[in-house]
Amino acid sequence: MRAIRFVSVFVSLFLPTFAGVPNISSRGYVAPGVPQNNTGNSQNAESFKYLAVTLPDPARLHEKSYWFNAIPLIQTTAVAEGWTLLPGSDCTNGGKYFGVRYLPKSAPSIAALYDSKGVIAGFQILYKVDALTKGSSEADCDTLNKFQNNYTFSDQRMINKETIGGTQYFVLTAYFVNPKQICSSNRSPSRVKTDGFGNQLSFQNGPTPSTLILAPATRKLAAAQSWTNNQCLPLNGYHNFFKSNEWDSKNCTENRPDWLFYNKDQRLSGFGFSLPGCDGSPRFQHPPGEIVQYVSGSKCAKTVSDTIKFSNMNVYFVPPISTLHDCPELESKIPENIDQILKELVG
Task: By CB under 6 A, name the binding residues for ligand NAG.
Answer: 23, 25-26, 37, 39, 147-148, 150, 251, 303, 307-308, 347
Helices 299-306/289-296 angle, 10° precision: 160
Q: Which is nearer to ligand NAG, 130 or 162 (CB)?
A: 130
CA angle 178, 194, 313 (to 5 degrees): 55
Q: Are 83 and 112 in contact (CB under 8 A)?
A: yes
**DSSP label at 72?**
P
Q: Which is nearer to ligand NAG, 251 or 340 (CB)?
A: 251
Q: Which is nearer to ligand NAG, 26 or 163 (CB)?
A: 26
The tally of CA atoms less than 13 A away on the side-chain side of residue 343 is 4
Would you say how long the chain is, in residues?
347
Q: Which is nearer to ligand NAG, 204 or 296 (CB)?
A: 296
Q: Which is nearer to ligand NAG, 208 or 253 (CB)?
A: 253
Report, in Å, the least distance between residue 154 CB and ligand NAG. 16
Give the separation between CA 148 and CA 143, rounded to whole angstroms.
10
Report, in Å, the least distance between residue 300 CB and ligand NAG. 6
Q: Which is nearer to ligand NAG, 133 or 303 (CB)?
A: 303
Report, in Å, the least distance between residue 288 CB and ligand NAG. 15
Q: Which is nearer to ligand NAG, 68 or 123 (CB)?
A: 68
Report, in Å, the least distance between residue 344 CB and ligand NAG. 8
Identity at 293, one-letter amino acid code: Q
* Phi, psi for residue 203 in degrees, rounded to 5: -115, 135
Q: Give the torsion through C-alpha atoms of 29, 35, 36, 37, to 10 deg.
A: 180
Q: Are 242 and 258 in contact (CB under 8 A)?
A: yes
Report, in Å, the least distance between residue 280 CB and ligand NAG. 18
**E strands in the chain:** 52-54, 68-70, 84-85, 100-103, 110-114, 120-128, 160-164, 167-175, 202-204, 212-214, 227-233, 237-242, 258-262, 268-276, 310-316
Report, in Å, the least distance between residue 139 CB and ligand NAG. 21
Give the separation between CA 180 and CA 115, rounded to whole angstroms.
10
Report, in Å, the least distance between residue 21 CB and ligand NAG. 9
Please give the radius of gyration of the chain, using alpha carbons only, rounded to the nearest integer: 19
Identity at 304, one-letter amino acid code: V
Q: Which is nearer to ligand NAG, 39 or 332 (CB)?
A: 39
C-alpha distances in Å from residue 294, one per residue of 1, 20, 124, 270: 12, 25, 27, 20
Q: Which is nearer to ligand NAG, 69 or 208 (CB)?
A: 69
